A = this chain, B = another copy of it.
Amino acid sequence: MNDKDVSRSTPGAEAVALMYRRMAITRAIEICMAKHVRNNRFSGWWHPGEGQEAAGIGATAAMQQDDYLFYQGRGCSWAIGKGMAPAPILGDLLGKPSGATGGKGGGVPHWSDYSIGVMGEGATLGSVYPLAAGAALAARLRGTGQVALANFGDGTAARGTFHETMVHAAAWKLPLIYFCENNEWLVGTPLKQVSPTENIADYAAGYHIPGVIVDGQDALAVYQVTTEAIARARAGEGPTLIEAKVFRKHGHYAGDPQHYRASNYLDTYRDPLDLLGTHLGDDQAADLREQATADVQSAYEAALAEADPEPDTIFKDLYYG
């Protein structure tokens, strides 16, 4: 299948299978990393995204390959969804030369692949809003029809850059999508304690743009609203603020004891992979998962076997030329 297929509002069977495959790869990486961290071989900081994969997978499925993605980086659903392979991701998490950043990125991920529009992350949360607007403006100036999507968490919606950027993007009708994954937590602080609104989408009103709330555990629902937002953006109608209600299954960071959370918090958890799986035959789902697990395992082993980066890596890529 090619990426065009998934740009229709209801994805076809192939598109759903691709989404499932990518979600399964993400899940396999999540499980692999969780084990890796438990085994204590990890120098970076890993923010697990297991259970929160549907938003990234659903939203990226609605994007064209050359659309610009800026992600926040709980897990890796966004990067995998946009088309990155497991190898550069795992290589990176293990700090190996084959990783996307060649050893410079890691747990607070900085994976990128400009050739498929994965533009990267800013580890100072909220810093990518204006960058995404810059990419959107570039697209507008060149008339390419590309859109830019900025993914962020509910806590990160408090950053001033959220406002400064949307003031302009909405005034100028830039092809920009704000995509919030609201998991109701910022580390150990419940959102409601530090936010005047449960719904991040409520901020849309002030900017006179649509604010859309969607079930973020349901990849197809996310796909749908993102497709609509992108269509608006490409038509020159400006930004949309999408809020996906998602579930943080694990601690903030790998190893977080989560003393701050009720012991039965998992009762309301719905698994996004299972949800999406209902749209596939049982066999197909099992096959895709098995394949994903195997792919990830071999990428993991290859990365493990690799030598550490050369010392002079530290002086590379600072200046071009």
Contacts and interface: CB of A to CB of B under 8 A. Distances in A.
Contacts of A196: 166-167, 170-171, 206-209
Contact of A194 (B166, B168, B202): B168
A279 interface: no
A208 B193 CA distance: 14
Interface string A185-223: 000000001111100001111111100000000000000
Nearest to A241: B206
Given A197-B206, A202-B205, A160 B171 contact: no
A196 B205 CA distance: 10
A167 B158 contact: yes
Given A196-B209, A202-B205, A203-B206, A164 B171 contact: no
A161 interface: yes
Interface residues of A, number: 25
A90 B205 CA distance: 43
A163 interface: yes
Contacts of A163: 158-160, 162-164
Interface in A132-180: 158-164, 166-168, 170-171
20 contacts: A158-B167, A158-B168, A159-B163, A160-B163, A163-B164, A166-B196, A167-B194, A167-B195, A167-B196, A168-B194, A170-B196, A171-B194, A171-B196, A196-B207, A196-B208, A197-B206, A202-B205, A203-B206, A205-B206, A206-B206
Interface of A: 158-164, 166-168, 170-171, 193-197, 202-209
A135 to B, nearest CB: 19
Taking the full assembly, how many copies of this chain does it contain?
A: 2
Given A158-B164, A163-B160, A193 B206 contact: no
A243 to B, nearest CB: 12
Contacts of A164: 158-160, 163
A54 to B, nearest CB: 26
Contact of A197 (B161, B194, B207): B207
A170 to B, nearest CB: 3
Nearest to A161: B160
A82 B240 CA distance: 43
Contacts of A162: 160, 163
A184 to B, nearest CB: 14
Contacts of A159: 160, 163-164
A205 B207 contact: no
Contacts of A166: 196
Nearest to A197: B208
A209 to B, nearest CB: 7
